[in-house]
Structure formats: structure tokens, C-alpha cells
Structure 1
Amino acid sequence: MSVGFHEVQEVLENYKSAVYEKDVERYVSSYASDLHIYDCWNDWECVGIAQWRKFTKEWFHGLDEEGALVKVDFDEVVIEENSNLAFVRCNVTFAAYNESGEKLRQMTERFTFVLRKENESWNIIHQHSSLPISMETGKGIFNRK
């Protein structure tokens, strides 16, 4: 799938809609083939588009089995860019709903994206998600206060 993202904001909008529609190929179209991701889930890191596609298929398959739709919202978005590199930091809220519209769960993570422009299109080359950690329990804090 060849998709061009001429504005950084288009990459974020594609992320949101592809997750909601559970469209693996559209979702990974936002990422460069040589991406490097530090994620909060399971693996310490993900290197390369093939590994990210596999992770995404598993994620979306799990949502299908559950009958869940996930709405993504970006909050406190800061974008800095020059001609060929961009930096985005934001809070990302993932809210899962069942088919009747009932909210099943919600969590918010901190995200940083680094994007590179190639052939006039922006693609994510690095993504880092994080959570603050409770000093009392050692567990991640998934909801903003």
C-alpha cells in the first residue's frame, strides 16, 4: 500500500482511523521500514516493519475476538518539524467499546514519535510509549489524574 502523508497531522489521523477500523496495512503505512519502537507491551522493543506488522495483526485480531472497537484520541499534541524530520509528543488515550457502544476500558499513555520525510511523505521512524510508575506498587499508571 503506497500512501503519502504530506502533513505530520495526517499521520496521526491515519493512526486513529486505522486502529478504529483495525486495518493492519493502513496502520503500518504510517511507519518506515527501518522503524524502531519502544513500547509498553510485552517486548522491550520492536525493530523493523515486519515485526511491527506481526504485533499489529495480533493486537487487531485480539480486538476482533473480543468484539471491541478502539477509539484513539491525541491530547496535548506538540509538533516540531523542519524540512525532513519531525518530533511529536502527546498523550494518547485508547478507549475500547463493545459493538453496542458500551465502554469496556480506557487507558492513556505518553507517546513520542520521530518522523522522517522521504519522497514528500512523512513516516514514523521511532515511537516511544511510556507510563509513569507508582513508587508504592511498581505498576504503571494508565490514567491521567
Structure 2
Amino acid sequence: MIDTEKLVRKALDTYQSAVLAKNAETFMHLYDPEVRVFDTWGVWSYEGAAAWRIAVEGWFTSLGGERVRVSFDDVKIVAEPTFASMSAVVTYTGLSALGEELRSMQNRISWAMRMRGHVLRVIHEHTSAPIGFEDMKGIFKREVK
């Protein structure tokens, strides 16, 4: 029997390593061809893997010599044999070419995933950040109380 929760955790590991390596090919293997992505930045939604790939390649190219380390906290997974959902707090840390931390931000991320054959792929991704009531600006660091 397939352990779907382990597959979700493997997908999180793949996401982290693909972003650090700026490897769009490996990154896109996480996504279903018909994925819908609600990203935090600039565009209301990306419909399909081809549209999402353009955004991902643009992100990786924009980094120049910098890299991004990704970490996931407070991961919650619900897994069935052919479907899973995951939500987490994700931290993106910009690294210089020498590996020095430059800046970081946090988002909320959710995935809906389904099994195709024996491969679990993201069919919907939603990233967001809360908006402050007073200034209407995004809040990119979670305050833990």
C-alpha cells in the first residue's frame, strides 16, 4: 500500500532542493499538467503547468547569483490513498552566492494533491500572506504567541 503522507513529505523535500538548486525541471515535476496556482505575487492565478513554469523560470532567473533556502513549519497533512492536502508556513530565505543570509519572508502555503498512476502531484497551490488592518500591507513574518 502506498503511504501518501510520506509522498507529501517527499514532495516538500523536493520543493526545497529544487528551489535551492534553481532547478525548474525538478520543481515542475511536483505539479499536475492542469494545476491551478494562486500565488502571492502579482498575478491572480496561473492556469496549467505551462503558465506556472514561465513564472517559476522567471523567479529562478531573477535571482542571478543568489539562491533561496526554503523551510516548512507547522506542516499539516491529510492523506488518503489517492488524494492529500497539505498546509504549512513556508519561509523563503535569500542567500548570497557565498551562502550568507540576505533576507527572508514567510507565506502560508496549501496544496491539494492527487495520485496519477503512482505519482502524487499538486493540482492546486495557494500561497498567501495576511494583510494588516491599519496599513493594508502584507505581513511577511508570522508572530508566534
CA distance in 2 between counterparts of 1:101 and 1:71 reads: 10
Structure 2 counterparts to residues 63-142 of structure 1, below 5 A: 63-64=63-64, 67-142=65-140
Between the aligned partners of 1:68 and 1:46, the Cα distance in structure 2 is: 25
Structure 2 counterpart of 1:13 = 13
Matching residue of 2:62: 62
| TM-score, normalised by the number of residues in structure 1 | 0.93
Q: Write out the 4+ residue segments of structure 1 that deviate beyond 2 Å after TM superposition.
A: none
- Provide the secondary structure at the position in 2 that maps to 1:44: coil
CA drift of 1:83 comes to 1.2
Say which SS state the counterpart of residue 57 (structure 2) adopts. Answer: helix
Q: Match of 1:3?
A: none
> Quick one: distance in 2 between partners of 1:98 and 1:51?
28
Number of paired residues? Answer: 138
CA apart distance, 1:49: 0.6
Q: Distance in 2 between matches of 1:39 and 1:54?
A: 13
Distance apart, 1:99 and its partner CA:
1.4
C-alpha distance in 2 between matches for 1:110 and 1:57: 21
**CA–CA distance in 2 between the matches of 1:95 and 1:39?**
17
CA drift at 1:101: 2.1
Structure 2: which 5+ residue stretches go unaligned?
1-5
AA paired with 2:8? V
User: 2:51 aligned with 1:51, yes or no?
Assistant: yes
Q: 1:28-61: per-residue Cα shift (whole Å, max 9, x none)?
A: 0100000001111010000101001100110000
Shift of 1:8: 1.3
Q: How much does 1:121 deviate? A: 0.9
Other-structure match for 2:42 = 42
SS at match of 1:138: coil
Amino acid at match of 1:83: P
